[in-house]
Structure 1
Amino acid sequence: MSVRVLITGASRGLGAEFARIAAAEGHRVILTARNRDDLDRLAAEIDGAEVIPADLSDPAEVERVWQEAREVDILINNAGLGGSGDFAKPDTWDRERHMLDVNVLAATLLAKRALGQMVPRGSGRILNVASLAAWVPGPNMAIYFASKAYLRSLSDALHHEAKGRGVTVTALCPGPVDTAFFEAGGLRGGRRMLPASDVARIGWDGMMAGRRTVIPGAQGKLLAAATSILPRALLLPIVARTLNHRP
């Protein structure tokens, strides 16, 4: 029986790379994202890929994706929205709410549905794509950073709950990745961005090894370690200057 892999945010970037890896390893791939044309282009290069266009900011659409996917052996919660700006501005709420709907609610619901199916079966893997942003608060990117901190915390807890039950839950926490994410969110990615194909491979291998947390690259590991040493009062202005996503 073939392994069925559901990948959200699968049309481009990390999601597309995860799909290519899964297909290369002989798995059945289920692709979901908002853009049908992008999904169809990717599906054209992956034999037997299933396509489920959906807007994961709508809870009803999240449920529909799960129902259409049917049985899932591996869930990759990759879909995510970004954005920056002054939290006090009232006219940014629609974008921020959509960010929370996708980054937090959709990922949580799909993980819940997946564990509900995997635990009784005694097998399954979940990979939640978080970020190095999960380790620190992000001034002027407050909601995005908070959403990734939530996803990392959720992953840690579910990893512990699933331990010994045949299911693994892994959080992938990369630094900036060379994808369309920054352009879509109106963000500055920085000079050193990791190739999406490398990050996807590292995340996939870490998930298959059952690791709780995967941080690609030596620099990423160093930055994550530094956040546990430096006090928040010092970290906040450093992060704010580094991000430079001012209102």
Structure 2
Amino acid sequence: MAVGRFRKVQRAAGSFIKTNRFDHGEATLLPEAYKKFWREWKVMKPAAVHYIPEEGRWKRNIVTGEVLPIQNVPIPIKYPKEADWGLWGGEGVIKGFQKRHEYNRRVPHFWIPSLKRSVVRSEVLDVYLSIIVTERTIKLIHDNYGFDHYLLKTPACDLRSVLALKLKRKILLALFDKCPAYKDTPDQQTTIYEEYKNYLSAYTPEEIEWYGLTWGQAIQKIHWQQQVVNAPKPLKQKYRSQLIEQLKIHGIAEAQDGSPEQMPGHSWISKMNPFGKKHET
């Protein structure tokens, strides 16, 4: 089994313990904010798109009167890589069989959603975007009274595409900064912010920072953070700090202002420098 990609089963103390991708390598350093987004994106059950789920647990056959259990089995859907750079509204490619004639054998068939390029506008970002969408995406945008409302109301498992999550993250960051796209028009900035600010209540600043990142981007981000934290510091900074602390202990007046660079030119340190500028007394 590939580490970090598939679930591993480890045997410990006579029992089996299931682990996931967050239990190995640098993934153990990922914050809870990203784990929350990952559950919303990959674990949460998406809304039914290609079938109509039935309510209840049992149903009766109208013809025979037989009572049968209700089984809402999702249709297997394929999501090609092109789906990540468009807004398909949860639709995907369905693989199945089709019987095109009564006396012919069935043949494999793919049902592909109808795609077209359309222009949408983000009010929060104040930009127009040319994106590949489906008819269902346009309907969802109209039903939610705008592109921004559609992205902010829809969970990640239903948006699914990387582009949609990236745009949603940018919108959340812009809202957190109070719509900087309208900084030249304060009245309009206030109007837009008041309309969308209620969506911020569902997120903390850390959750917004990690929202919408793919697995590779999250690992790269945590790797960069670790490099910054563990970066070696120059020894001159260490020795400079030690020198200042020793001078403060011995009551040297010049050390009370901070680093040696901030000390005046007539200090005793400048007198010890043979190449420094000589001051007349």
Indicate the TM-score class for this superposition, using the shorter chain for normalisation. Answer: under 0.3
Say which structure, 1 or 2, has more relative contact order (CA 8 Å, 6+ apart).
1
TM-score between both structures, scaled by the size of structure 1: 0.24
Q: State the TM-score, normalized to the length of structure 2.
A: 0.22
- If you compute each CA radius of gyration, which structure gives the higher value, 1 or 2? 2
